[in-house]
Amino acid sequence: ASVPIAATLVTAGMPPGAALVFLMAGPATNVATLGAVYRTLGLKTLLIYLTVLIVGSVGCGLLLPSLIDIHAFLDVHHHDHPAWWQITSTIVLSAALLWFAVSDFRRLMRRGNSGGTDSPTHVIRVEGMTCQGCASRLERSLNSAQEIDSASVTFRDGEAVVQSGSSRADIAKQIRKAGFQTPDDAATPDLVTLQLSTSSSGSRMTPDNH
């Protein structure tokens, strides 16, 4: 709904840069979005979000006229050649899409290969997470590890559920490598390892004593 409004404003004489600011900042600063960011990620992340949004949109709006001369497109009928920034943007976007596609494919293959195995599931308490963004960052870090089949991190519970054949000490090392801490094994019972075992009647969960 914002694009037709922006097109109408540009037709009426609004600078294209101002229309770009409207398109970038308008939908992203509604009350529902700001409330969701605040409840999920916290006040600090909300302030960073607004700062980046304001600075980025205004900066792009000021930079747009120097990159694109909209009057030049009025006389273009044939033999249109892409500008350097168009080629660069295409390459960067294609590389990003390829990167995420390969990452998702590797994750799916790893989970598929682990589907028929009896890798233990480790439930590990994690300290140092201050928001959902920390949990997401730790989850990505764990899933990127070659020796981990799958990982899920919840900020509310402060836990990481990791399916891996590695020992819990190795998994704890991966968590510390990502910038977080785990309670000491001997000092707290919060670090629990669960072994998924499959029987003829189905799957059941039993403690794994290490």
For the segment 128-134, the average pLDDT, to the nearest whole number, is 85
Q: pLDDT tens digit string along 185-195?
A: 434 444 444 44
- The two beta strands, 159-164 and 148-154, are antiparallel
What is the C-alpha to C-alpha distance for residues 21 and 2, in angstroms, rounded to an integer?
11
Structural Rg of the chain based on CA atoms: 25
159-164/121-125 β-pairing: antiparallel
For residue 200, what are the CA distances in angstroms to 180, 194, 206, 207? 39, 19, 15, 19
Q: Rounded to an integer, what distance in angstroms lies between the CA atom of residue 208 and that of residue 169?
A: 13
Per DSSP, the three-state class of 155 is coil
Q: Span 192-209, mean pLDDT?
A: 43
* Amino acid, res. 201: S
Determine contact, residues 16/66, Cβ cutoff 8 Å. Answer: no
Q: What is the mean pLDDT of residues 134-160?
A: 87
> What's the DSSP call for residue 181?
B
pLDDT of amino acid 128: 87
pLDDT tens sequence across 53-73: 889 888 888 888 777 666 555
The closest alpha carbon to 180, from 148, 204, 155, 197, belongs to 155
186 burial class (0-12, 13-18, 19+ CB within 10 angstroms)?
A: exposed
Dump pLDDT digits (tens) for 1-31: 678 888 888 888 888 888 888 888 877 778 8
- Which whole-number Å values give the CA distances from 114 to 24, 109, 110, 205, in the listed order? 42, 9, 6, 17
Please give the Cα distance from 86 to 22 (Å, whole number): 22
- The pTM of this model reads 0.42
